[in-house]
Structure 1
Amino acid sequence: MIIGLALTVGGVWLLTLDVSAYYLVAWLALLLSAGLLWAKRSAAQWVMALVLIATLVWSLYEAVLNFWQLEPRLVMPAVLGILLLLPWVRRKLFPLARTANLSLVVATVAVLAFAATRQVGIAGSADFTAHGDRYSPLDQINAGNVQNLQLAWRMRTGEDQGGTDAGHEFNFEDTPIKVDDTVYVCTGHSWVEAIDASTGKLKWKFDPNADTRPDVYLACRGVSYYKAPAGTVTDCPERIIAPVLDARMMALNAQTGQLCRDFGDNGYISLKQYLGNMPAGYHFVTTPPMVVNDRQILRRKSMTNDQPMYEQIKMSIDRRIEAEEWPSDFQIPSEDQLAEEFGVSSLTVRRALRELQAEGVLIRIQGRGTFVVGPRMQCAVFTLSNISEDIAQSGGVHSCQVLAHLTLPPDSPLRSMLPLPAGQDIYHSRLLHIEDGTPIQLEDRFVNAAEAPGYMAQDFTTQPSHSFLVRNTTVTTVDNMIRAVRANEEAQSLLHIDAGQPCLLLDRATWRDGVPVTRSRFLYPGDLYSLRSSHEARPSRITSSLFNVKNR
Structure 2
Amino acid sequence: MASTPPLYQQIQQHLLDKIHSGEWQSNHQIPPEEQLARDFGVSRMTANKAIRDLVQKGYLTRQPGLGTFVTDRKAESSLVEVYNIAEEVRSRGHRHSSEVLIREVIEADDEVALRLGVRLGSRVFHTLIIHLENEVPIQLESRFVNPRWVPDYLETDFTRHTPNEVLVAACPITDVEHIVEAVLPDAQAAESLAIDMESPCLSMIRRTWSGEQLISYARLLHPGSRYKLRSSLHLQAS
After TM superposition, the structure 1 = structure 2 runs for residues 142-541 of structure 1, keeping only pairs within 5 Å, are: 381-409=79-107, 415-416=112-113, 417-422=115-120, 424-538=122-236
Question: 1:407, CA displacement in angstroms?
Answer: 0.9
After TM superposition, the structure 1 = structure 2 runs for residues 4-19 of structure 1, keeping only pairs within 5 Å, are: none
Output the CA distance in 1 between the equivalents of 2:229 and 2:183.
Answer: 14
Provide the identity percentage: 33
Name the structure with the higher strand share: 2
TM-superposition CA deviations, 1:309-333 (whole Å, max 9, x none): xxxxxxxxxxxxxxxxxxxxxxxxx
Question: 1:424, CA displacement in angstroms?
Answer: 3.9
TM-superposition CA deviations, 1:211-250 (whole Å, max 9, x none): xxxxxxxxxxxxxxxxxxxxxxxxxxxxxxxxxxxxxxxx
Output the CA distance in 2 between the equivalents of 1:538 and 1:415.
Answer: 38
Q: Is 2:82–2:176's contact at 8 Å kept on the other side of the alignment? A: no
In structure 1, stretches of 5+ residues that fail to align are 1-379, 541-552
In structure 2, stretches of 5+ residues that fail to align are 1-77
Q: Which amino acid aligns with 2:171?
A: T
Q: Is 1:425–1:450's contact at 8 Å kept on the other side of the alignment? A: no
RMSD of Structure 2 on Structure 1 (CA)? 2.4
TM-superposition CA deviations, 1:420-479 (whole Å, max 9, x none): 025642100110011222111100110000011211111101111111111111443321
Match of 1:467, SS? helix
Normalised by the length of structure 1, the TM-score is: 0.27
Output the CA distance in 1 between the equivalents of 2:226 and 2:91.
Answer: 16
Output the CA distance in 2 between the equivalents of 1:539 and 1:501.
Answer: 42
Do the aligned partners of residues 504 and 393 (structure 1) sit closer, same or farther apart at CA in structure 2, a change above 3 Å counting?
same
TM-superposition CA deviations, 1:133-171 (whole Å, max 9, x none): xxxxxxxxxxxxxxxxxxxxxxxxxxxxxxxxxxxxxxx
Q: Is 1:429–1:444's contact at 8 Å kept on the other side of the alignment? A: yes
When Rg is computed on C-alpha atoms for both structures, the one with the higher figure is 1
Q: Which amino acid aligns with 1:504?
A: L
Normalised by the length of structure 2, the TM-score is: 0.60
Tell me how many residue pairs correspond in the alignment: 160
Do the aligned partners of residues 537 and 510 (structure 1) sit closer, same or farther apart at CA in structure 2, a change above 3 Å counting?
closer
Match of 1:468, SS? helix
TM-superposition CA deviations, 1:106-149 (whole Å, max 9, x none): xxxxxxxxxxxxxxxxxxxxxxxxxxxxxxxxxxxxxxxxxxxx
Output the CA distance in 2 between the equivalents of 1:396 and 1:522.
Answer: 20
Question: 1:414, CA displacement in angstroms?
Answer: 6.2
Output the CA distance in 1 between the equivalents of 2:131 and 2:237.
Answer: 35
Output the CA distance in 1 between the equivalents of 2:172 and 2:233.
Answer: 27
TM-superposition CA deviations, 1:184-224 (whole Å, max 9, x none): xxxxxxxxxxxxxxxxxxxxxxxxxxxxxxxxxxxxxxxxx
Match of 1:383, SS? coil
Q: Which amino acid aligns with 2:169?
A: R
Output the CA distance in 2 between the equivalents of 1:513 and 1:445.
Answer: 20
Q: Is 2:110–2:120's contact at 8 Å kept on the other side of the alignment? A: no
Q: Is 1:507–1:521's contact at 8 Å kept on the other side of the alignment? A: yes
